[in-house]
Amino acid sequence: MTAKNRSDEAFLEEMTPEALENPADIPHLEEGTANVPEHPVPWHEPFLTSSMFFAVSTRSNIMTPLLLPLLVQTFVGESLKGTYFGILRLSTLMVALLVQAIAGILSDHSTSKFGRRRPFILVGSAMDILSFVAVGVIATTMSGMSGYWVLLVVVVLSMVASNLSHGALQGLIPDIAPKSKYALFSSIKSLLEVPLPIIFVFLVVRGQIENQNYWAALILLIAVYVVCTALTMLIKEKPQKVAPPIEKGAIWRIVAMTAAFSVIIFAMGLVVTFVLPLITGRTLPDLLVMGVLGLTVMLIAVILGVIASLRIGLGDKAKSEKNFTWWVINRLAFIVGVTNLSSFLLYFVQERFAEAKGAAAVSPVMLLMGILAIGLLLSSILSARTMNWLGMKGLILASGLMAATGSAIVVFASTLPIMFVGSFICGLAMGFFYASNWALGVSIVPKAEAGRYLGLSNLAGAGAGAIGAYLGGPIGDAGGFTLLMSLYGLMFLFSTLALSQIKGAGEKA
């Protein structure tokens, strides 16, 4: 495919003088990522393309809902565990946002003979494995606040490594898949990214963490990383011989974007810090005030954070990318609910069941996560057909309503079996959402800059944990984690409102 065949005529204007002398030699991933030609897809290709998502998600399902909350609780004590867990999440996830977006841009423009995505994935995976070893040392040898601060530093470094891989990884589907196969590739991605890692952690890793055998859990995680990285290296990724230069100031815009998003979240955190001491009890009026406060600051952080960040990250292009902006807002609002329901589930279970203290909460938490994974698995399998029936936006809308219903059942249930019902519904919603929302995003972003745009979409992935944990943690400490989980359920409803602002896209899969 030559440059003159591309719809993006601005590409030639950005090329170097040497490249412009021979425009016919300018490929974009040889076959042209802007429009990957229709071709038969081997059965294994969607699985290889998304295999690394299994590793990254397994990491998240071990660290976020289980290992890190337990370590933070051990290091800082009961009364401030939500606050300090929120600080850790904000710090690490803003680093994740920065690194993932930069990795997306750099991989877009890579001319490595090994392909533009795989070198980043390989280096990031190797670095992350080293960080897992460091976490094991901290967990078994340190205590108190010194243990907490060293843990925070190591998890920050782990996020650098993980998102170096992740930022490049997200460009593989638009690089390799023909447009007619986006639903299939996105459904396989959803399957490997969400339900299967949860099932793996439930069946294989849960017992090790419950028995506080942290080294065994981390060794299993390292094995997953080695296998998935090796599978990803089998992808037949064609290198691009010539790439357009990185847009001037693009990297600095990412840095400024991350700083702006962090400042907005931090400012909302100051509001929470100032107002909470004025609420002295846990009466119903007090809890309502806390709830309104928490929901308000989260919504401001979501809307203002995305609009301001993309305006900085994309520059003038942001004005013409309203669908992309609202897609990120929709994704961020939903994932605020998803991520933090799981992040604080251990503390929520400890609060609701007197017998579930400390590591004893791991078993009921993993039972809830396991039921959720069954729902996820089912909806991931059905998502491609359901997307063809309802359209991408229709399925995203249904997902938001289902998630709100499921979370309400979990929050208000008086027994664990009733919580299972809500968890299953949440799982169904999540599987449908991840497949349909990602398919919508892939169809919206400019294909020639898929790594850059989908890297910026990590405003949702990283921003969700930062917003929900940093702003929510103190509210959980002050008003209880049942109140906090209710707020996350309301975020699902807001995500459906944001969806209505996406125009002219996603009506059909």
User: Does residue 318 carry a pLDDT above 80?
Assistant: no
Contact 377, 431 (CB under 8 A): yes
Q: Is the pLDDT of residue 28 over 60?
A: no
Residue 37 lies in a domain: no
* Residue pointed to by tokens 């412009």: 20
In a domain, 295, yes or no: yes
Confidence of residue 104 (pLDDT cuts 50, 70, 90): confident
Identity of the amino acid at 393: K
Q: How far apart are CA 92 and CA 195, in angstroms?
A: 24
- pLDDT average, residue stretch 80-109: 89
Tally of CA atoms within 13 A in the half-sphere of 148 that contains its CB: 20
Q: Kindly indicate the confidence band of residue 417, based on its pLDDT and cuts at 50, 70 and 90.
A: very high
What is the percent of the chain with per-residue pLDDT over 90, rounded to a whole number? Answer: 46
Q: What is the pLDDT of residue 10?
A: 34
For residue 455, is pLDDT > 70? no
Give per-residue pLDDT as tens, 147-201. 999 999 999 999 999 999 988 888 888 788 777 777 788 778 878 887 789 889 9
Q: What is the pLDDT of residue 35?
A: 57
**Candidate from 120-124, 265-269, 387-391 with smallest mean pLDDT:** 387-391
pLDDT tier, 280 (very low <50, low <70, confident <90, very high otherwise): confident
Average pLDDT value over all residues in the chain: 84
- Report the alpha-carbon distance of residue 276 to residue 78 in Å, rounded: 18
Which residues touch 284 (CB under 8 Å, ≥6 apart)? none
pLDDT for 24 beyond 60: no
pLDDT tens string 234-278: 988 878 777 778 877 778 888 888 899 899 999 999 999 999 999
Residue 418 predicted with pLDDT over 90: yes
Which range marks the domain in which residue 288 is found?
3-27+53-245+253-496
pLDDT for the residue numbered 14: 34
For residue 88, give both structure tokens.
């850790």
For the segment 51-65, what is each residue's pLDDT rounded down to a tens digit?
A: 999 999 999 989 988
pLDDT of residue 458: 67
CA 471 to CA 389: how far, in whole Å?
38
DSSP sequence for 311-355? HHHHGGGGGG-HHHHHHHHHHHHHHHHHHHHHHTHHHHHHHH-TT
Dmax over CA atoms of the chain, in Å, equals 74
Written as six digits, the tokens of 19 are 């490249």
Within a domain: residue 38? no
Tell me, yes or no, whether 469 lies in a domain. yes
Q: Which string of DSSP letters, residue by residue, matches 402-469?
A: HHHHHHHHHHH-SSHHHHHHHHHHHHHHHHHHHHHHHHHHHHHS-GGGHHHHHHHTHHHHHHHHHIII
Tell me whether residue 289 is in a domain: yes
Look at residue 509 and tell me whether its pLDDT is greater than 60: no
- Is residue 174, in this structure, part of any structural domain at all? yes
pLDDT at site 16? 34
Instruction: Dump pLDDT digits (tens) for 327-361.
Output: 999 999 999 998 888 889 999 999 998 888 877 88
Spatial neighbors of 393 by CB under 8 A, at least 6 apart, are: 436, 440, 499, 502, 505, 506, 507
pLDDT, residue 56, reads: 93
pTM above 0.85, yes or no: no
pLDDT number for residue 462: 74
The residue among 420 and 447 whose pLDDT is bigger is 420
Number of domain units in the chain: 1
* pLDDT reported for residue 258: 85
29: phi > 0 → left, psi -120 to 50 → alpha, else beta; which? left
Average pLDDT for 138-147: 95
What residue spans of 201-283 are helical by DSSP H? 206-210, 214-232, 250-275
Is residue 505 included in any domain, yes or no? no
* Any domain includes 40: no
The Cα angle at residue 101 between residues 457 and 262, in degrees rounded to 5: 80
Mean pLDDT to the nearest integer, 369-380: 87
CATH of the domain at 405: 1.20.1250.20
